[in-house]
Structure 1
Amino acid sequence: MTSHRHFFATAPKGIEPLLADELRALGAFEVAEGRSGVAFSGPLAIAYRACLWSRLASRVLLPLATFPATSPEELYAGVRAIDWSEHLSTESTLAVDASVSGSKITHSHYAALKIKDAVVDQFRDRTGDRPSVDAERPDVRINLYLLRDTATLSLDLSGDSLHRRGYRDEGVLAPLKENLAAAILIRAGWPEIAARGGALVDPMCGSGTLLLEGAYMAGDIAPGLLRPHYGFLRWRGHDAALWQQLMEEAQGRRADGLARIPTIVGYDADHKAIRAAWANIDQAGLREHIHVERREVAALVVPSGEFANGLLVVNPPYGERLGEVEALKEVYGTLGDRLKEQFVGWKAAIFTGNVELGKKLGLRAKKMHTLYNGALECKLLHIEVQPENFVDRHRGPSPVRLSEGATSFANRLRKNLKTLGKWAKQEGISCYRLYDGDIPEYAVAVDLYDGWVHVQEYQAPKEIDERKAAQRLREVMAVLPDVLEVPGERIFLKVRKQQKGTEQYGKFGERGQFIEVREGAARLLVNLSDYLDTGLFLDHRPTRLLLGELAAGKRFLNLFAYSGAASVQAALGGAASTLTVDMSQTYLDWAKKNLALNGFSGGNHRLERADCLEWLGRAKGEFDLIFLDPPTFSNSKRMEGTFDVQRDHVELLRKTAALLAQDGTLIFSNNNRKFKMDAEALPELLIEDITRKTIPKDFERNPRIHNCWRIRKG
């Protein structure tokens, strides 16, 4: 026997990457994902650990030989070339599993018979006796994988599929396989949530598979600890002492881990399912750690106790016939309602074979993974149960009951929509701020983007009760679709808090969905989902239009350019050239798209990636018109030191004005509400405060949204 062997763990389609990570964590070497499984290597102990501890593998195979098998005779000869006395004796029993694909041998049963004949004939020729066949519980199970006329022959060390943990006493209709349930939980982040003490809830628990797998993970329980049989136990290469050592270790870890199992609760409307779940829980010895009870989805609640967060995981029915699907729409809708009302702050993982039904939840999924339940392709929807992810699923009035305050909020929206909507229509403005914390208790900003809605929740003061703030936000999200007559999927919400350093560039998502809007003659792309800001600062609308009016024939420089909207307006105003400078490649790419959308590209409209502060120290040439809109503060890793607009604005303006043509104009703006211009330190410049002229009507309620100056050389 060699101390280092090669193995192969099979797994359901879609689970291979997770299995590879799991095997690495167990100590395997040379881990490589393959077709429906993962190859790995190591000592025999690694294979034993995989059999005992893998939550994801179906079988663990020990490959013995790989050889051409273009005919039954060649297959027979290849099997005979292996010394089978190393693995079993004439007193042993055997069985053969065969899988064939793309080969001249097309029948798996026939291939299995040829392998059995080759093994038996070898023993009979050598000893005059032969092992017998036991299809149910053989001493040695042989596995053939025949692909494109190449045979891989292996010993099945697991003996039976590893998804059979040994705790299932009885099942219900179409239960999840245990290793698929484990994959769902791992994808959903349950191990991390459990480590933080979060709860696990399954509102349609069936026979309890997800609950039990969740408890096994949280309690550091080996999934194979209860299995009565493994394929290596009567294999001649078996190391009984090693196996006993591993079993004792697993039993000790279980004893230590039970105390770490957090609250795990399951519900189901079917009393038979609950009875089956209790039987399985008892078989696993986890009655003190898992609770299940009969409860309809409409009565779903957070488990008793203080749980700020946790994971709700569910495998609801998918429906196969039209009538079933129609009935299930209400089930999914009710589940979504209960999530919104009871589980804000939790994560939800919905495993469904019908994505259209998943939409009836009325919750936007952050991401999806594809997994297979047998041959059926299914999606695992990952949902963060937060108001910004609530969407209208067209099921009538919102389930959130409106308070007196919410009614006041709705009335204020209607009033603002009437006055500002009329103004915007007259001015040809399609993107504007509708509401900005007009009612202090409803501290949000609501911006309209040509039929889309962007909502920003201002971070509540510490003295405000989080639950009250969350309730008010739910009311806001419930009111908006009705008052604005906009479907929920066109409403995006983000939490705005004080930004530090590069946080202003932090991503909220990866949807990459750009929406085209208009500002005057400009066509601009905004992104309402992925970033805190959308790519268009609405309060700078008059400033950008002013730049367009000043730009005719001018050489224009846009510093800290963001998505380049000011460059577009300058180009549309007839600028002879534009130079757009920003430190972020993401924003420069965005600016390039905005310029191209309006027909501007090439040498006259350049973009440069640079730290603007560093760039100013080495820049050459003159510009007739400059727009300078720096951040209030920055400590980006891509720049040296920090930048504070109040502390550093004199040096910044002096360096920028050095690039200004003698009769040129610099428009300087920032959004530091406490900013004080130090004009006395810049006697060489003529500085005119034009802030009031650049605050648009939709920001008059918040006139300190920005500061703005027109600056010329003296």
Structure 2
Amino acid sequence: MSHKLPIILSCPKGLESLLIAEAESLGAELVKESVGSLRMDADLQTIYRLCLWSRLANRVMLQLHEWQGDTADSLYQGLLEIEWSKHLAAGGSLCIDFNGRSGDLRNSHFAALRAKDAVVDYFQNRGQARPSIEKQNPDLRLNVRLKKGRFLAALDLSGESLHRRGYRHESGLAPLKENLAAAILLRADWPSIASRGGALIDPMCGSGTLLIEGALMAMNIAPGLKHGHWGFSGWLGHNAKLWQMLFTDAENQRNVAMQRQWPEIRGYDASGKIIAQAEANIGRAGLEKVVRVSRRELSELTVPSHRDIQPGLLVCNPPYGERLGDEAELVYLYQSLGQRLRDHFLHWQAAVFTGNPQLGKRMGLRSHKHYQFVNASIPTRLLLFKVEPDQFVVERSTAPNAENMGQTGETEAAVGKLSAGAEMFANRLKKNIKRLEKWRRRENIECYRVYDADMPEYAVAVDCYGEAIHISEYAAPASVDEDAAKTRLRDVIQVCSQVFNQPIRNIAIKERRRQRGTEQYQRQGGKPSYQQKNADEGFMQVSEGQAKLLVNLFDYLDTGLFLDHRPVRLDIAARAKGKRFLNLFSYTAVASVQAGLGGARHTTSVDMSHTYLRWARRNLSLNGLSESRHRTEQADCRRWLAECKEEYDLILLDPPTFSNSKRMDDVLDTQRDHGGLIREAMRCLAKDGLLIFSTNKRGFILDEAIASNFDVQDKTQWSLDEDFKRRSKPIHYCWYIRHRDGAGK
């Protein structure tokens, strides 16, 4: 029983030191460590324990022979020297895996055939029945490796790889292997946390691998109990009685563990399909009473409140650029994850497994440890965090303010005596700021319009985005001298610089004209001094209600946020819980973000612009809203609506005044085409649903047929907030439209 046998343990790269500690705790003795494998000595009982209890190994192999050579003949002769009658019964079945290459052995299939010849000839030379080749569940699986002029022959005692625990039949995109998941949990000190009663939460649980491995580890259940076929079953050295005793002991230990109370183990995923797969895997593992999963967005992530849960470990394997396309979207996903940790998981530990450590830096937490791994050939890193206030990283604000202004030239706020007209403009600006201040603070408004052509001589709109300033110059009428218009614009810039104490270069200045001919919204030139690098591309973050949004003041004609529609978007957030929301002409999908945060069942955002939809996905990611429940569709809204077969409870229809995009078959004119758009949208609206129609077209007149066929409520005045009420004519029109009683679908 104490006779030591030479064995080889294989494992994923990066797990070697963990596997050494595990194998030695089970009774093995280290002989040599290599990348991805260990050579050890162990008795038969320890070998069985390794097969049954190892959470980290891929395979347990019995070393048979090692010899010099790199030719087909030397391969044959070396294998012929092994006493095969001690391992394989005459007439038994065999499968041979060959790895390696030399000048003489260039084909692994040929090498495996030559190895098979040696084993067959061994038995035939002794007058015994020759073994057969069987690829599925053979009596023995022989592994032969050629490396640096030496052959190594070993029997695979584990059968299929030990990472296949037998509970995972289905999995999501790029799942973690079970032994890699176990290594992540060990590095994150989960066994110690579990022993203190700490909880385990995975907010992006996928098929549940981290949760299941965490439960098996905390409960000290042997991971090999459901493994299936074992490689030693047909090996003549197998001791069935010893194996059965060890297996029964492990089963009894599991049965006792199932009677105990264990720490909370929870998982969430935005996809209902993936959650169903996780539940099936958990059921096959027999852990449905211990591990619970449910469908939940990252935006909804909090510590479960139904019981007194002790701070524990939050662990996750978020997507990283190798799996999901736009890295810029992932930046905001990681940022959202970090925000949820800081807001809701104080005094917890966190472990984030990522293929892009740079994304981890956007979480706003300082990693105190990190470990390198390889996941499906992708170099990865495990980042460990302590969610404590002294570990929070406060990023320097990218919005312009008095502290980041320079000291000379254009980096200072504009100085100098104002003209009489500029003084009048400055007084009006200050008056508006004062008038809006109480409302803005009461409603927690961060982005608002402070001036909108109040004085005909100064035909501009001045918007505040936090501390950043955005000026839009309206095109001067033909009666206004061009030089005079330029002088007034300089007055506006000088006044805004002084009133808001901002350097001129940090004030976004644009001239807005009606689009004509082939003109479309195009990317603008210019770079703000506070532009962020890489994936951020000049975006800055602002807030509206509970939503965080990305705006870009310099690079596009529009900023990504239409301020005048704020009341409508906040009303959508208030109405959205449990609703199916459709956002047509969605732009940067701010309304979809509000609906998602308001608890919408799902949202669909349709727009023709790839640029704005990419922006939309970043907004969704920033708020922890996944594409599995909040999809974006690049399409002509008219054609998309005509082909739509789905039903929605809440629809926002906000078409542009005019569009002649090259992607469209013809021109869209809202005044002419709105009747057809509304009727198509109402076809997709549930019986008790609500369609919100809005337009910024001046002098717009709603089609009388719409009022005749549907219940129409004019919400224009209601939809204008304090910063837009002072205009002589409304900046937009808005109607709430419903099916009449009995007229719905």
In which range does the TM-score fall when normalised by the shorter chain?
Answer: 0.5 to 0.7
1:34 partner letter: S
RMSD: 2.6
Cα displacement (A) at 1:102: 7.0
Q: Secondary structure at the match of 2:338?
A: helix
Cα displacement (A) at 1:98: 1.8
**How far, CA to CA, are the matches of 1:101 and 1:339 in structure 2?**
50
Structure-2 change in CA distance of 1:101 and 1:315 (3 Å):
farther
**How far, CA to CA, are the matches of 1:8 and 1:372 in structure 2?**
20
Deviations 1:162-217 (A, max 9, x none): 00001113112211000000000000000000000100000000000000000000
**How far, CA to CA, are the matches of 2:42 and 2:16 in structure 1?**
19
Counterpart for residue 473 of structure 2: none
Cα displacement (A) at 1:328: 1.2
2:7 partner letter: F
**How far, CA to CA, are the matches of 2:221 and 2:397 in structure 1?**
43
Q: Following superposition of structure 1 onto structure 2, how do residues 145-164 of structure 1 map, counting pairs within 5 Å?
A: 145-164=145-164
- Contact 1:158 1:232 survives alignment (8 Å): yes
- Contact 1:65 1:152 survives alignment (8 Å): yes
- Contact 1:102 1:148 survives alignment (8 Å): no
Structure-2 change in CA distance of 1:173 and 1:322 (3 Å):
closer
2:123 partner letter: F
Q: Secondary structure at the match of 1:309?
A: strand
2:351 partner letter: A
Deviations 1:253-307 (A, max 9, x none): 1122232531100000111110010000100111100010010111111123333
Structure-2 change in CA distance of 1:395 and 1:318 (3 Å):
farther
Q: Secondary structure at the match of 2:88?
A: coil
Cα displacement (A) at 1:2: 8.1
Matched, 1:261 2:287: no
Q: Following superposition of structure 1 onto structure 2, how do residues 120-199 of structure 1 map, counting pairs within 5 Å?
A: 120-127=120-127, 129-199=129-199
**How far, CA to CA, are the matches of 2:299 and 2:98 in structure 1?**
47
Q: Following superposition of structure 1 onto structure 2, how do residues 243-254 of structure 1 map, counting pairs within 5 Å?
A: 243-254=243-254
**How far, CA to CA, are the matches of 1:395 and 1:298 in structure 2?**
23
2:390 partner letter: E
Matched, 1:34 2:28: no
Counterpart for residue 386 of structure 2: 384
Counterpart for residue 273 of structure 1: 274
Structure-2 change in CA distance of 1:336 and 1:246 (3 Å):
same
- Contact 1:29 1:40 survives alignment (8 Å): yes
Counterpart for residue 369 of structure 1: 371
Cα displacement (A) at 1:393: 5.0
**How far, CA to CA, are the matches of 2:397 and 2:254 in structure 1?**
47
Q: Secondary structure at the match of 1:313?
A: strand
**How far, CA to CA, are the matches of 1:99 and 1:297 in structure 2?**
44
- Contact 2:398 2:530 survives alignment (8 Å): no
Cα displacement (A) at 1:114: 1.4
Q: How many residues align?
A: 405
Deviations 1:22-62 (A, max 9, x none): 01111112354223112221210111100000000000010
Cα displacement (A) at 1:111: 2.1
1:242 partner letter: L
Structure-2 change in CA distance of 1:365 and 1:90 (3 Å):
same
Matched, 1:56 2:56: yes
Matched, 1:223 2:260: no
Q: Secondary structure at the match of 2:299?
A: helix
Cα displacement (A) at 1:115: 1.0
**How far, CA to CA, are the matches of 1:322 and 1:247 in structure 2?**
42
Counterpart for residue 72 of structure 2: 72
Counterpart for residue 544 of structure 2: none
**How far, CA to CA, are the matches of 1:67 and 1:160 in structure 2?**
26
Structure-2 change in CA distance of 1:367 and 1:308 (3 Å):
same
Counterpart for residue 338 of structure 1: 340
Counterpart for residue 697 of structure 2: none
Deviations 1:124-176 (A, max 9, x none): 33236311111121110001121111011000000110000011131122110
Unaligned runs of 5+ in 2: 404-528, 532-745
Q: 2:312 aligns with which of 300, 310, 313?
A: 310
Q: Secondary structure at the match of 2:126?
A: helix
- Contact 2:14 2:372 survives alignment (8 Å): yes
**How far, CA to CA, are the matches of 1:393 and 1:93 in structure 2?**
64
- Contact 1:218 1:260 survives alignment (8 Å): no
Matched, 1:300 2:283: no
Structure-2 change in CA distance of 1:274 and 1:394 (3 Å):
farther
**How far, CA to CA, are the matches of 2:288 and 2:73 in structure 1?**
56
- Contact 2:70 2:102 survives alignment (8 Å): no
- Contact 1:68 1:75 survives alignment (8 Å): no
Counterpart for residue 401 of structure 1: none
1:285 partner letter: G
Structure-2 change in CA distance of 1:103 and 1:260 (3 Å):
farther
Counterpart for residue 288 of structure 1: 289
**How far, CA to CA, are the matches of 2:192 and 2:110 in structure 1?**
48
Deviations 1:452-494 (A, max 9, x none): xxxxxxxxxxxxxxxxxxxxxxxxxxxxxxxxx999xxxxxxx
Counterpart for residue 46 of structure 2: 46
Structure-2 change in CA distance of 1:335 and 1:52 (3 Å):
same
**How far, CA to CA, are the matches of 1:205 and 1:294 in structure 2?**
10
1:185 partner letter: L
Counterpart for residue 525 of structure 2: none
Q: Secondary structure at the match of 1:6?
A: strand
Deviations 1:370-404 (A, max 9, x none): 0110211100001111122222457879xxxxxxx
- Contact 1:103 1:146 survives alignment (8 Å): no
Deviations 1:418-472 (A, max 9, x none): xxxxxxxxxxxxxxxxxxxxxxxxxxxxxxxxxxxxxxxxxxxxxxxxxxxxxxx
**How far, CA to CA, are the matches of 1:260 and 1:117 in structure 2?**
56
Q: Secondary structure at the match of 2:367?
A: coil
Deviations 1:639-679 (A, max 9, x none): xxxxxxxxxxxxxxxxxxxxxxxxxxxxxxxxxxxxxxxxx
Q: Secondary structure at the match of 1:366?
A: strand
- Contact 2:211 2:265 survives alignment (8 Å): yes
1:264 partner letter: I
Structure-2 change in CA distance of 1:16 and 1:104 (3 Å):
farther
1:334 partner letter: S
Counterpart for residue 570 of structure 1: none
Tell me the TM-score normalised to structure 2 length.
0.52
- Contact 2:264 2:309 survives alignment (8 Å): no
- Contact 1:103 1:147 survives alignment (8 Å): no
Cα displacement (A) at 1:368: 0.8
Matched, 1:201 2:162: no
Q: Secondary structure at the match of 2:230?
A: coil
Structure-2 change in CA distance of 1:382 and 1:101 (3 Å):
farther
- Contact 1:203 1:300 survives alignment (8 Å): yes
**How far, CA to CA, are the matches of 1:162 and 1:84 in structure 2?**
25
- Contact 1:168 1:280 survives alignment (8 Å): yes
Answer 1 or 2: higher relative contact order, Cα 8 Å, separation at least 6: 2
Deviations 1:342-390 (A, max 9, x none): 1110110000011121122121111110011021110000111112222
Deviations 1:314-341 (A, max 9, x none): 0011123894212111211111110010
Structure-2 change in CA distance of 1:322 and 1:131 (3 Å):
closer
**How far, CA to CA, are the matches of 1:395 and 1:127 in structure 2?**
84
Counterpart for residue 23 of structure 1: 23
**How far, CA to CA, are the matches of 1:98 and 1:141 in structure 2?**
11
